[in-house]
Amino acid sequence: MVYQGNPVSEGIAVGKIMLYEPFVPVVDTTALPKEEIPAALSRYKNARNSAKKELEALYSRLQQDDPGKAKIIKAHMDILFDVAMEEEIQDAISDGKSVEAAVDKIFRKYIRIIGKSADERIRERASDLEDVRCRLLRNCMGVKEKNLAVLTDPVVVVAKDLFPSDTASMNRNKVLAIVTEVGGPTSHTAIIARSYEIPALLGVPDILFQLQNGQEVIVDAVDGALITDPTDEEKEAYRGKKVQFQEQTAETKKYLASDGVTKDGVKIEVELNIGSANAQEVHDIQYTDGVGLFRSEFLYMGRDTLPSEEEQYKIYRKVLMQAGNNPVTLRTLDIGGDKKLDCLELPKEDNPFLGNRALRLCLQHRDIFKTQLRAALRAGTIGNLWIMFPMVGSMDDIRNAKAVVREVQQDLDRENIKYGKNVKFGIMIEIPSIAMIADLAVKEVDFASIGTNDLCQYTTAVDRLNQNVAKYYQSYHPAMFRLIRYTVEQFNKAGKPICVCGELGGDKLAMPVLLGFGMRRISMGIASVARAKKIISRLDLRFAKEMADKVCQMETAGEIEAYLKDSLKDVI
């Protein structure tokens, strides 16, 4: 059987499926006959020991990759062996409760007590208890762990959708490919998959119900197909296609460390998009002209407490040091929309992408915003820090954000704490209302960066994650190109830096058009950097300008795409 999907991260994989669905424990409350009590007690201890082994394995892996997350796992081990809870669970079993019912009852009791605490930090521990409850119950029921962080065999992960925290904690060495029912090229799953170079096929409708765990598949994330139960001939053919793909990728990779200079000798700044600032991302900075987008919200994800000022300061410093004199564009916390945090409960909204998101949320949660700004400004004493505000829609937004910056600067002055005095302040252009007044916005800021992922969402009025309307999310819509052209012209006229850090920046068809508009700065995930530099080296800017002019006269996204494919066939 062949299913079609959207190949958002190119590559080919042959392997077995793991259906990824969160575990939901259903507890059996049947009373235990007296003679079964001793066996139940030892079953409880066995389950607790298996849970401990899982946590130990996770702990030792995270200790190297992510010490912050490792600490949380250590706390989970302490909960698992909490003496008071352990005693109460054993008493409940001895009173005739089933193992699962006893574990469930005692954990729920403590979750309730802790959840009512007046101290927010103690209240936050309830979600750790909940996590350990599920882990222990799953082990009591003999169900194997399904967690992308602790995969033991290489698998093709199939899910309805993946949360950013799933992908952030995923053991990437064991994920052959990702297949999901929802999501498109600008979803976070797509962005992470590309940066990890994991083939990903998204938007395959109802696929969870068609597949089984362990079933063999071929994921062709070049041409957008998922082939189930392949024959030996098909597997052979795809192994050949994979080798060919890998050879092409290796050829392109030769450009990774080169300078982004066009055929006619113009230097283009090719910058990097990063998330959690892990060792790999920090290493990759050397191949680029700086960090064009640091999605700082990844530092807040997959943890139960907000990152402290000191923790953030150290991370920002590390990135700034690695970048040297090149810019590090730190985007302030961008949550809401599709991005949620365990460490900050947000009210449910009917239209989260149009709701209290990013800067709007930071202006409301000033303490969180100020902590981040303090950490950033302090780190800004070294390197070349650019601070960027997301989801800006008006001049008021810019002025309100800058007012908070001034407050933080005054606090630091009062406390005699050193901070960067040459830090630049800029905005993301991702709402049409600010793009349309780029001539005014440019006067209030030092720089801007166009977030084409959201710009497309808000220009075409299409939820970027809603598969049912994916065909209306047209990144090549003429309105997109006209908005970008206008913005670039205004910033170039004012002599202030303008960049594109959305997915169009690294898109092989759109990027030459952006250069044609006069963009000289583009930022993208590491997976696109080598290809972008290769295209730049083969591109003449006069030709790019001609294309850009033509594109703005065209009527439909389809017409533009066909024209670019044809015009750029010798370049890409």
Residues known to be catalytic: 188, 501
When binding is defined by CB under 6 A, the residue of 454, 519, 567, 571 that contacts ligand PEP is 454
Residue 451 interacts with Mg ion (CB under 5 A): yes or no = yes
Residue 253: both structure tokens together: 């990779």
Going across the sheet that includes 12-19, the strands are 2-4, 225-228, 216-220, 12-19, 155-159, 175-180, 200-202, 6-9
525 is a site residue for Mg ion (CB under 5 A): no
Residues 6 or more apart in contact with residue 112 via CB below 8 angstroms: none
Q: Does 503 bind Mg ion (CB under 5 A)?
A: no
| Nearest distance from C-beta of residue 331 to ligand PEP, angstroms | 8
CA separation (Å) from 214 to 154, 157, 164, 524?
Answer: 11, 11, 25, 35
Total residues interacting with Mg ion, rule: CB under 5 A: 3
- Rounded CA-CA distance 405/332 in Å is 12
Interface residue with Mg ion, options 397, 454, 503, 507 (CB under 5 A): 454
160, 175, 435 from 148: Cα distances, Å: 14, 8, 39
User: Minimum CB separation from Mg ion for residue 482, in Å?
Assistant: 20
Q: Which residue has the tokens 């700004």?
A: 373
Q: Which amino acid is at 178?
A: I
Residue 295 contact, options Mg ion, ligand PEP, none, Cβ 5-8 Å cut-off depending on partner type:
ligand PEP
Other C-beta atoms within 10 Å of 337: how many? 24
Out of ligand PEP, Mg ion, none, what residue 100 binds, judged by CB under 5 to 8 A for its kind, is: none
Applying CB under 6 A, the span of 24-32, 205-213, 404-412, 448-456 interacting with ligand PEP comes to 448-456
Overall residue count recorded for the chain in this entry? 572
Residue 454: CB minimum distance to ligand PEP, A: 3
| Angle of helix 526-537 versus helix 188-196 axis, rounded to 10 | 70
Segment lying near ligand PEP (by CB under 6 A), choices 121-129, 156-164, 282-290, 446-454 = 446-454
Judged by CB under 6 A, does residue 295 bind ligand PEP? yes
Residue 297 sits in the site that holds Mg ion (CB under 5 A):
no
Q: Which does 452 bind (CB under 5 to 8 A by kind): ligand PEP, Mg ion, none?
A: ligand PEP
Q: Position 138: which residue type?
A: R
Q: How far apart are CA 430 and CA 397, in angstroms?
A: 13
202 in contact with ligand PEP (CB under 6 A): no
CB hemisphere CA count around 372 (13 angstroms): 23
Say if residue 399 carries a ligand binding annotation: no
- The stretch near ligand PEP (CB under 6 A) out of 64-72, 219-227, 342-350, 449-457 is 449-457
Binding span for ligand PEP by CB under 6 A among 82-90, 174-182, 452-460, 545-553: 452-460
409: which 2 tokens?
């600067």
**Contacts of ligand PEP in 500-519 (CB under 6 A):** 501-502
Burial pattern 205-216, b for ≥16 Cβ within 10 A else e, equals eebbeebeeeee
Based on the shown chain and the rule CB under 6 A, indicate whether residue 453 belongs to the binding site for ligand PEP: yes
User: Residue 100 interacts with ligand PEP (CB under 6 A)?
Assistant: no
The annotation status of 147 as a binding-site residue, yes or no, is no
Residue 485 assigned ligand-binding role? no
Backbone angles phi, psi at 310, to 5 degrees: -65, -40
Q: Does 104 bind Mg ion (CB under 5 A)?
A: no
Residues that bind Mg ion (CB under 5 A): 430, 451, 454
Residues that bind ligand PEP (CB under 6 A): 293, 295, 334, 430, 451-454, 501-502
Q: Which residues are annotated as a binding site for Mg(2+)?
A: 430, 454
Q: Which residues are annotated as a binding site?
A: 295, 331, 430, 453-454, 464
